[in-house]
Structure 1
Amino acid sequence: MDKEYDIIVVGAGIGGLGAAGLLAKAGKKVLLLEKKKNVGGRAATFRKDGVVRSIGQHAVLKRLRYEELLKELGVKPKRALFRDILMSYEGGFKSMDEIFPLVQMRAEEDSTKMREILSSPVDLEALDDISGAQWLKENISSQFLIDLFEMAGAIVCTVPRLEELAASAVYETIQLLMKSMSMWIPSNGMQELLEEIVDKIKENGGTVRTGTTVQSVLIENNKVTGVLVEKESEEVIEGDFGEIINISAPTVILAVPVWDIFKVIPEEKFPESFVKKVHHLTLRTANLGLTALTPKPVYEGKKFFMVNFPSIKLPGSIFVPTNVAPGLAPEGKHIFESSIICNYEELVKDGQLRYQLLEEMKKDLNAWFPNWDKDAYWISTYFHYEEPKHTPGRSGKHRPGIKAPGIDGLYFVGDCYASRALPGLECAADSAMMCVKELLGVLPLERVRI
């Protein structure tokens, strides 16, 4: 690792990897730093005993920003495609292809009005300040349609209720629903795809260092000068610290959650208005879920379920990824995943509530898929944060832009920042391209077909 670079990227999630990859491709001397041993952030996966493990589902929507980023990077993923999305409907499930004709029959006037709204100019910044519930009630009367949008908004934006979701995010979600909802997952897990991006960075002269913690971003006279990093100690000793190194660069991109900004840069370096904006965004969404390995698939077919769990009245999802990509587990074994969307602050300190919700969730799963857990080799549970909540006053215009105010050479990338793209994977990819365009004026084009 050299001591001087053109650009240092802090954080190797989707946004950080994308920005570093594009900048290295453009000929910049780039250093990408990641505190964990693996790249990928919340999208990271790992293989244990032949099974690809992940935290929640990370499917990629076709023809959107993440695919665009991969094309720009020259990465051609091995894709496992599916498009059969089922939703809760009158105690059972119906596919989106079945539901849309029902919408036409049961809410023809409202669905026509929504199409008119979606095809007309809309002031999204105004919609950042009102709830999805208010906006929908002002425009449509069909509870059937409102329930449909609430469930879709919960899955896409990881916000459980329309009252909590900004109208602008609901608008973007409905736009997604109106398009083809074909999706894919990497055939051998997300990590293989992420490592391909790392390889592209290195092929283009970039440097990637994992297990390396940035202690602070160095700033002199309101200009970035580099970072102080701590290399992970070779020996694991409690209370031990690694070597501190000063690395110089005139540009630093923070690809970290918005609540981590002030861990590496003191608040007083920023304008007061920016500090208030960041503190206002600390409310987080979360996923509470389970993963199981079973001897046979819980259900057949390449299906993804968006559901309301009746026992806990929370939205969530159900997926058997090995029905789509058998290589994610050893032959004859199958992965089953299910999770609910919830509020991080309500559950982070309440293990008993998390346990109760999971038990109720299992009851609903048993009602839909009797004995789904019978003979399971193992069942593991997880709880993790997603991103700042897309609530009124916290979405769109209320998020920090790509360029930091008051500090030359400091930029931001990730699903916490300026992009309106949904869901989070798309937002992170879009912000990476926005940042590189801000720095270079153009994107370094060399596309491959996916």
Structure 2
Amino acid sequence: MAEKFENIVVGAGFAGLTCAGYLAKSGQRTLLLEKGSVIGGRAAAHPANGYNVVMHLPLIMTSLNGGGGYGWANAAKDFGADIKLHFSREPRLYLNGVEDPYMTIPKCITTEAAVDWMESFLKKARPDLWSNSCKSELYPMVDEILHKPFKEMCEEWDEVSVKDWVQSRSMDKGIEYVFTSLMACFCWTADAEFTWNYGSAAKGFVMLRIWIGNQGAMSVAIPDLQHGICEPIAEAITTNFGCDIRTNSEVIKVIIEDNRAVGVEIKDGNGTIKRIEANRVILATTWLDYLKLLETVPPTLLETMKAPLQQKMGGIFLTYQLNNSISLDGAFTLFINPKTGSSIQGGCAQNIEQPWNVPEGKQLIWAYSVRSDADFNRLGLEGIAAEVTQNMELLYPGFNRALESTSPVKGASYPSHYRFSSLPKIRQKSPDVDGLFFAGECTWPMYGQITDGTASTGANVAKLILETDDLAGV
């Protein structure tokens, strides 16, 4: 006889852990399945050249300082998980080719200070676009972003493009540049043209509120995301609420009968296939897995996924091992082409932000570059990697003489930045199949960014299932 649960959650990343934790906390018998051997999904650390490389951006917690999010930080508190954090320094921009190219992204707090900084950014990056009207038109726009209720902002503006949001308020070319360039950084869409036409206004404004509005924080888990956040949450929801978590359990199919999700088929570490039944199935995997897990894709889901499949971007990731002949600043840095407004690359010195993961006497820089599909076709992986490496000497003078080794370049062009675009997202409760839910970075609504936002989708699905707005009281 098949096992039976009230809920099966597929994927033990931030969304799956958060969702499963709240469902188990409510007293519902919940099973969390993870195909990998460890908890954390894409947050898991990867050893490379003797380093414990964590190829992820510093964490973002929108729940701090009145930000209004309800992601993993709130969940960890509600679950009684023991989390330890190292807070990051203020990030900065590097404007390639301009005099005094570095600009710190400050915690402006007030609308006036934020507008002043944005004005200084425009004057430095593109002085030809500055006009006397910029500041007066920027003020109400920035004030609206910083003070709109966070939940409403994330729901109303997530599927609104940067272009549509800006042009409904101003037609000033300088303001267009400010928002396009900053949102290219803050949405992680990088390419200015793509960002202007497709970037999600809400996703970018979440970051603006965190970095400029001081309504959140960047942090790094000690020692890393997997061991410092995901595993403590997993331990807490297992010990405190009886959540059943199984690794090495690959879901190969969601079972749908009479238009209702009734369970899954899994393949365990020994290759054995078995059926597990449930009242509900929550997919907290990457969105591209939906096509593999659903034999017949529900019509609404298929219609939503048609648009993102036509919009491709890509990213590459590199790590550089250096000796200690130069001193690195660990601040997270975004490298911008002022002419176009595109964010060419980003990264930081891991030996400063996470010194416990780097051997003594060595330094480690991790870097990424998000590029358009056209760039991938024109330059290829190695060509983009060469540009990233060339820029390193500008970011870190002396880089070339200190460099000891470079990791193999990894990356691809695919619909990876759908989650940060204004294209329609997958609704968290399936309108087509009873008992089928979706959590993760490409679902709507998401109250935050990166890990915090992903966890918020798991929390929101738990709210839908439990029919409550107060998860803390569950």
SS of structure 1 residue aligned to 2:82:
coil
Q: 1:88-127 to 2 correspondence within 5 Å?
A: 88-89=94-95, 90-91=98-99, 92-97=101-106, 100=114, 101-103=116-118, 107-118=134-145, 119=147
2:336 is the alignment partner of 1:295:
no
Percent identical among aligned pairs is 21
Whole-Å separation in 1 of the counterparts to 2:4 and 2:326: 53
Change (3 A) 1:200 1:2: farther
Q: Which residue of 2 aligns with 1:406?
A: 432
Contact 1:297 1:320 (C-alpha < 8 Å) held by counterparts:
no
1:78 to 78, 81, 84: 84
Q: Which stretch has the larger CA shift, 42-51 or 357-366? A: 42-51
CA deviations over 1:80-117 (Å, ceiling 9, x no partner): 11232111343511112399444356643233132343
Aligned partner letter, 2:286: P
Q: Which residue of 2 aligns with 1:163?
A: 197
Whole-Å separation in 1 of the counterparts to 2:188 and 2:219: 19
User: TM-score of the superposition, structure 1-length normalised?
Assistant: 0.84
Whole-Å separation in 2 of the counterparts to 1:124 and 1:421: 6
Change (3 A) 1:351 1:331: farther
Q: Which stretch has the larger CA shift, 255-264 or 274-283? A: 274-283
Q: Which residue of 1 aligns with 2:54?
A: 54
2:223 is the alignment partner of 1:194:
no
Whole-Å separation in 2 of the counterparts to 1:202 and 1:324: 31
Contact 1:156 1:422 (C-alpha < 8 Å) held by counterparts:
no
Q: Which stretch has the larger CA shift, 434-443 or 165-174? A: 165-174
* CA RMSD across the alignment: 3.2
SS of structure 2 residue aligned to 1:215:
strand
1:220 to 257, 279, 289: 257
2:23 is the alignment partner of 1:43:
no
- Following TM superposition, by how much is the alpha carbon of 1:404 offset from its aligned partner in structure 2, in angstroms? 1.1
Q: Which residue of 2 aligns with 1:366?
A: 393
CA deviations over 1:398-429 (Å, ceiling 9, x no partner): 21221112222111110110123342322211
Q: Which residue of 2 aligns with 1:209?
A: 246
- Following TM superposition, by how much is the alpha carbon of 1:310 offset from its aligned partner in structure 2, in angstroms? 7.3
Contact 1:308 1:316 (C-alpha < 8 Å) held by counterparts:
yes
CA deviations over 1:304-351 (Å, ceiling 9, x no partner): 1122157995432121132123112123322211211224x5577x59
Q: Which residue of 2 aligns with 1:328?
A: 357
SS of structure 2 residue aligned to 1:94:
strand
Whole-Å separation in 1 of the counterparts to 2:165 and 2:34: 41
Whole-Å separation in 2 of the counterparts to 1:419 and 1:124: 7
SS of structure 1 residue aligned to 2:371:
strand
Change (3 A) 1:173 1:186: closer
CA deviations over 1:362-415 (Å, ceiling 9, x no partner): 1121123233143434321322664425434x1xxx212211122221111101
Whole-Å separation in 2 of the counterparts to 1:334 and 1:151: 30
Q: Which residue of 2 aligns with 1:66?
A: 72
Aligned partner letter, 1:265: L
Whole-Å separation in 2 of the counterparts to 1:148 and 1:298: 34
Aligned partner letter, 1:132: V
- Following TM superposition, by how much is the alpha carbon of 1:146 offset from its aligned partner in structure 2, in angstroms? 4.3
Q: Which residue of 2 aligns with 1:286?
A: 314
2:274 is the alignment partner of 1:245:
yes
2:313 is the alignment partner of 1:275:
no
Change (3 A) 1:78 1:112: same
Structure 1 residues not aligned, in runs of 5+: 234-241
Whole-Å separation in 2 of the counterparts to 1:405 and 1:191: 33
Structure 2 residues not aligned, in runs of 5+: 124-133
SS of structure 1 residue aligned to 2:401:
coil
Aligned partner letter, 1:76: D
Change (3 A) 1:7 1:129: closer
Q: Which residue of 2 aligns with 1:136?
A: 166
2:344 is the alignment partner of 1:315:
yes
Change (3 A) 1:231 1:410: same
Q: Which stretch has the larger CA shift, 382-391 or 190-199? A: 382-391
Whole-Å separation in 2 of the counterparts to 1:407 and 1:145: 44
Whole-Å separation in 1 of the counterparts to 2:290 and 2:159: 24
Whole-Å separation in 2 of the counterparts to 1:104 and 1:33: 49
Whole-Å separation in 1 of the counterparts to 2:375 and 2:275: 39
Q: Which stretch has the larger CA shift, 142-151 or 12-21? A: 142-151
SS of structure 2 residue aligned to 1:84:
coil
Change (3 A) 1:373 1:25: farther
Aligned partner letter, 1:258: W
- Following TM superposition, by how much is the alpha carbon of 1:28 offset from its aligned partner in structure 2, in angstroms? 2.2
User: TM-score of the superposition, structure 2-length normalised?
Assistant: 0.80
Change (3 A) 1:391 1:104: closer
Aligned partner letter, 1:53: V
Whole-Å separation in 1 of the counterparts to 2:325 and 2:105: 22
CA deviations over 1:42-79 (Å, ceiling 9, x no partner): 22213467622123424233514332222222223211
Whole-Å separation in 2 of the counterparts to 1:125 and 1:168: 8
- Following TM superposition, by how much is the alpha carbon of 1:198 offset from its aligned partner in structure 2, in angstroms? 1.8
Change (3 A) 1:156 1:116: closer
Q: Which stretch has the larger CA shift, 56-65 or 186-195? A: 56-65
SS of structure 1 residue aligned to 2:91:
strand
Whole-Å separation in 1 of the counterparts to 2:172 and 2:368: 28
Q: Which stretch has the larger CA shift, 29-38 or 274-283? A: 274-283
Change (3 A) 1:211 1:137: same
- Following TM superposition, by how much is the alpha carbon of 1:278 offset from its aligned partner in structure 2, in angstroms? 2.4
- Following TM superposition, by how much is the alpha carbon of 1:228 offset from its aligned partner in structure 2, in angstroms? 0.7
Whole-Å separation in 2 of the counterparts to 1:146 and 1:309: 16
Whole-Å separation in 2 of the counterparts to 1:418 and 1:33: 22
Whole-Å separation in 1 of the counterparts to 2:32 and 2:102: 44
